[in-house]
Amino acid sequence: MRRTKIIATVGPACDNDGTIEALIMAGVDIFRLNYSHGTRDSQAQTFHRIRGAAARAGRQAAILQDLGGPKIRTGLLEGGTPIQMHDCTSNDAVHLSIADQQSLAACLRIDFGHTLVWRI
């Protein structure tokens, strides 16, 4: 009995019935869908394409939905120079703010949606 699982990431090069069926026949157990790319409709089409190919092959295939986490970006930095986090000491606070301002050493502007305080 095989204990190893084979995972295949579905991307533009293999997102078609023929290739997905070939991957199932080659032994793929799990199909990974990267939700950082595509639309809800395109992901749903791929999901149904995998389910259909697995049913036609008489096999089960799991689908792994790889959900991207939040991507926090800083605004412009004061003087255009990096802020050195190693200069902070224990219990210093770095404020991450969505306010429309330039980032300073004590307060970084971010595009995240709400203000955060990061305790070092």
- Which tens digits make up the pLDDT trace of 15-40? 999 999 999 999 999 999 998 888 88
Instruction: Please enumerate in sequence order all residues whose Cβ is within 8 A of that of 95, keeping only pairs 6 or more positions apart, or say none.
Output: 106, 107, 108, 115, 116, 117, 118
Which pTM does this prediction carry? 0.61
Measured distance CA(54)–CA(24) in Å, rounded: 7
Write down the domain spans for the chain: 7-66, 78-119
Q: What is the pLDDT of residues 84-99, one digit of tens each?
A: 665 556 666 666 666 6
Interatomic CA distance for residues 97 and 51, integer angstroms: 44
